[in-house]
Amino acid sequence: MDRTKQASDLIDADLDRILTSFHSQYVWHYGPVKEGLRDLYEKSKREQWNATTQLDWGIDVDPESEIIPAAMNPLQDYGPFKRCSAKEQAHVRHAMLAWQLSQFLHGEQGAMMTASQLVSCVPWIDAKYYASSQVMDEARHVEVFDRYLREKLEWEFPINENLRKLLDVILTDSRWDFKYLGMQILVEGLAMAAFGNLYQMADDPLIKELIYYVMRDESRHVAFGVLSLEGFYADMPENELRDREDFIIEASLLMRDRLIGDDIADVMGFDRGEVRQLILDSPVMQAFRQQLFARVVPNVNRLGLMTPRVRDAFAEMKILQFADSDPEEQDRALGIASD
């Protein structure tokens, strides 16, 4: 077979197409409109980094070592896991880290595609500038997670079904503010919490450095969403506001319910139902699922979207306690706050 044809067939086999449609908007006013966006764009230019030269890819990584502390493994007291040999237990640790980083990888591709859409559909030139810089950021994030998975862990999982559903909704909705809400506020906000958790726990200097640089970018991306949407929902008609309420609630449930261990159960031949229930009941995982929303909830509140319906949903999810949290303080605690 012709080599060009072989390459083309391989590319086609890995493609997954969805139909998207939204209004692209020219902006003929080139001056600042939204306070803070131009400053954020300047910050994005100052903080660009080259993953090829600034990360030490020569660091050796043993994928089956205890990169994440054993105490954080929700299967630690699960009978079938305890009966595994030391080598098999190490394989489970390897799978768990590869699964988590694979979801980061897939989410970053979704963020890259969404940012590229924002360049066309946002209605201010400052937002177009910043969204353009975010496309580059997200491309770099896809690059680094892909490289770490291929070269260090040598294992990649497919995208989680719930994450895929949310990305499809964000990419296919025609309304520009839904793209902000879905990506900048929800997905990026959740990612920041997950990145912070991994950064604090991981025992591998390469993944810690990689996550540090990614978090610095993602913090700006969340701020981009908050600055752009602030005040937008103040006078929105009730029926349109209800669409946003529904989206926030459904997306939050999707993201909470994606951490249920089906793929890990399949790898080891464990019972899916048992693993799912164990992870749902695990105090460690319950705390982790709640902590994921430590940035989402205060930003939803700041945008004026903490309506009674959203408040009730967040209370039922046991995440309402974050309503008055300070994401900037969380950045300072992680050492990523900058001028």
DSSP result, 74-87: TTTT-HHHHTS-HH
How far, CA to CA in Å, does 271 sit from each of 180, 257, 263?
38, 18, 11
Widest distance between CA atoms in the chain: 67
pLDDT at 1: 52
pLDDT at 289: 86
> For 80-91, what is the mean pLDDT?
94
pLDDT at 256: 84
For residue 8, name the pLDDT band (cuts at 50, 70, 90): low
For residue 99, name the pLDDT band (cuts at 50, 70, 90): very high
For residue 283, name the pLDDT band (cuts at 50, 70, 90): confident
Using CA atoms, how far apart are residues 269 and 263, in angstroms rounded to an integer? 10
Using CA atoms, how far apart are residues 34 and 293, in angstroms rounded to an integer? 26
The residue assigned the tokens 């680094």 is 144
The overall average pLDDT reported for the chain is 92
pLDDT at 338: 58
Lowest mean pLDDT among 68-82, 133-147, 217-231: 68-82
Instruction: Summarize the chain as % helix, strand, coil (round to 5).
Output: 70, 0, 30
Is residue 140 within 8 Å of 111, Cβ to Cβ? no
The residue that leads in pLDDT, 77 or 50, is: 50
How far, CA to CA in Å, does 237 sit from each of 230, 243, 244, 266?
16, 10, 11, 47
Q: How far is CA 181 from the centre of its chain?
A: 13
For residue 9, name the pLDDT band (cuts at 50, 70, 90): low
pLDDT at 27: 96
| pLDDT at position 4 over 70 | no
| pLDDT at position 178 over 60 | yes
What's the token pair of residue 205? 């200097």
Degrees, nearest 5: CA angle 23-230-251 = 70
pLDDT at 225: 96
Rg (CA), the chain: 20
Encode pLDDT of 188-242 as tens digits. Answer: 999 999 999 999 999 999 999 999 999 999 999 999 999 999 999 999 999 999 9
| pLDDT at position 7 over 70 | no
Using CA atoms, how far apart are residues 295 and 189, in angstroms rounded to an integer? 5
What's the token pair of residue 269? 């031949």
Encode pLDDT of 14-70 as tens digits. Answer: 889 999 999 999 999 998 888 899 999 999 999 999 999 999 999 999 999 999 998
Using CA atoms, how far apart are residues 51 and 55, in angstroms rounded to an integer? 6
Degrees, nearest 5: CA angle 216-217-220 = 95
pLDDT at 280: 84
| pLDDT at position 13 over 70 | no
Residue 157 DSSP label? P
| pLDDT at position 10 over 60 | no
Q: How many CA atoms lie within 13 A of 287 on its CB side?
A: 7
pLDDT at 339: 55
> For 260-277, what is the mean pLDDT?
87
Using CA atoms, how far apart are residues 255 and 165, in angstroms rounded to an integer? 10
Using CA atoms, how far apart are residues 329 and 337, in angstroms rounded to an integer? 8
Domains of the chain, first to last: 34-334 (1.10.620.20)
pLDDT at 286: 85
Nearest to 288 by CA among 280, 297, 296: 280
